[in-house]
Chains A and B, each alone.
Chain A
Amino acid sequence: MLLLVSAITFLLVNLAPGGPSALMRMDVTAEQRDVLTRRLGLDQPVPVRYAQWLAGALRGDLGTSMTSNEPVAWRIGQRLPNTLLLAGTALLVSILAGVPMGVLAALRRNSLPDFVLAGISVVGVSIPAFWLGIILILALSVTLQWLPSSGLATTGSAGDLGDRVQHLLMPAAVLSTTVLPYVVRFTRSALLEVLHQDYVRTASAKGLSRLRVVYGHALRNALVPVVSIVGTLVPRLFGGSVVTEAVFGWPGMGRLAVEAANGRDYPLIVGITVVVAAVVVFSSLVVDLAYTWLDPRIRLS
């Protein structure tokens, strides 16, 4: 799968009209262009270049950035932790908030709380994340002046935990809205499915309180499928991080991708796409493992 992603991106970038060689500035002479072409290996056919790139990538060498002349892997390494922090916090927030919301919707099915939550979910998937970000900045930074509007931390106060949390709060909230609706809906339908099963009826028949039945018996089994959707949320979180980081000036992978895009930095953009795909694949692997561990009936085939 990683091979496929890297091949698609690599081919897309290299087969385009002009291609990376068109990047060379207009003012260079023909000889200079020749030297550069050879140095970047652009005189080789595309499959050969892909094989070379792949061989490098397997050793952790993703090539050299065209705009800054720094190794691509190093530039990504600088930004990846920030995005992981943002995406991880957003994921945590959406699970901590989304699961109880889903439980509430399932228990009060077809009543007011259920409809309100369903409405919130639809609004959540319909609202452009960047616009929600702008509105939050307008409300919380401009009008109320509670939270800082952008950046990782206030300059000069690096390392201050409170300051960093303040900066993280709004971007994480905005990013979590891109996945929260899925957590709510999924928890709701998973719990509804479980609530109809015999062992839940047995538990109720034993005279256990409604609370113990739901939290002690039903929810535990309903949560197993909920774990599985975490794998599908990760790509959404990364996609959402591009705009969220742009709104809040968060120095992560998403902004790096936009910078690379605007600078036409081909090796960097290929590297970013492949690293994001790698994180996605790795997280779905972890989810699969967690899944089999939680539910022994499922074994990887």
Chain B
Amino acid sequence: MHSAAPALLTRLLRNPLTAASLAFLLLVHVLAFAGPLGWTVPPQQTSALEALLPPGPGHPLGTDDLGRDELSRLLHGGQVTLLVGFAAMLTSTVLGLLIGAIAGFYSGWVDVVLMRFTDTMTAPAFFLIVTAIVVLGSGPLTLIAVIGATSWMQVARVIYGETLRFKAQDFVLAAEAMGARRAVVLIRHILPQTIPSVVVSATLGVGFAVLTEAAISYLGLGIQPPTPSWGNMLQNAQQYVWTAPALAVIPGAVITLVVLAYNFLGDGLRDAADPRLRI
């Protein structure tokens, strides 16, 4: 795995789309987290006289309905959205990995119960999110937990398939023949094999989590104003679509590009990790 890393990176960057996505994502993250050091206008400073200004000098991206600087809100909102997206992805990856690996490794009723549960969770996922947020409140931490707890099913299915595949292979049989305990076989021998798939799922998972956060915050159920997030910036923007279209266009375009880049990066990683999987 370790010796393969440089070769993997080379193969990854050979695809121009993947390389561009990676560069774009690095840029966005640096801008969101370091940008406020350079652009120091506070994101929550309102100004009735400067409401709904079009992009121009002083406010490069204009101002919103309360006269808050749109660029500053975009940068600070980026921190919130990207952190929620990343943390939710970590949660869902860990959950999916655990459930998928256990279901795939221990066959029998464990398998049936866990995979049934996975199917069940898929059915009304977005409605479960809405319900859970109503009940648990809408802080960033709850949002992370709720998105994580309702988006692990895809990872679980992938890892389930991988575990089933590796379980039947000779190196697992060899480890078992040498007297390794079941849990050791799973953790030391099978799980490391699934790392490429986990990384791919995780990359795609960030994009999905960012989209989900945006949708929930757009509905007014997620990150609460005045804290900005890319989703809740769009919540009010729709009202002003006639007078200040930039408010609606810019945050959505940023979300689309970031999710797109994560998806391209995920696809690129998949191709680089296993060229045979390319269809």
Residues of A within 8 A of B (CB): 1, 4-5, 8-9, 12-13, 16, 122-123, 125-131, 134-135, 137-138, 142, 189, 192, 232, 235, 238-240, 242-243, 246-247, 257-258, 260-262, 264, 269-270, 272-273, 276-277, 280-281
Contacts and interface: CB of A to CB of B under 8 A. Distances in A.
A24 B31 CA distance: 46
Q: Which 4 A-B pairs have the closest CB atoms?
A: A131-B252, A239-B126, A126-B260, A16-B135
B256 A126 contact: yes
A130 B234 contact: yes
Nearest to B128: A273
Given A123-B260, A128-B256, A189-B279, A243 B124 contact: no
Contacts, number: 135
B249 interface: yes
B136 A16 contact: yes
Interface string B239-260: 0011001001101100110011
Contacts of B215: 128-130, 242-243
A243 B218 CA distance: 8
B219 A280 contact: no
Contact of A4 (B117, B126, B211, B237): B117
A272 B135 CA distance: 15
B241 A142 contact: yes
A9 B127 CA distance: 10
Nearest to B251: A131
Contacts of B116: 1, 4
B133 interface: yes
Interface residues on B, range: 35 or more
A150 B264 CA distance: 34
Contacts of B123: 1, 5, 235, 276-277, 280-281
Contact of B219 (A4, A135, A246, A276): A246
A134 B252 contact: yes
28 contacts: A4-B120, A13-B131, A13-B135, A126-B207, A126-B263, A127-B256, A127-B259, A128-B256, A130-B215, A131-B252, A131-B256, A134-B234, A134-B252, A137-B238, A138-B245, A138-B249, A142-B242, A238-B124, A239-B127, A242-B127, A243-B215, A243-B219, A246-B219, A257-B127, A262-B220, A272-B127, A276-B127, A277-B124
B33 to A, nearest CB: 22
B248 A135 contact: yes
B176 interface: no
Contacts of A272: 127
B122 interface: yes
Contacts of A125: 263
Nearest to B253: A131
Contacts of A137: 238, 241
A262 B133 CA distance: 10
B119 interface: yes
B134 interface: yes
Interface string B258-272: 011001100100000
Pick from B123, B211, B234, B279 the residue with the most CB of A within 10 Å. B123
A9 B128 CA distance: 7
B219 A12 contact: no
Interface in B115-159: 116-117, 119-120, 122-128, 130-136
A128 B135 contact: no
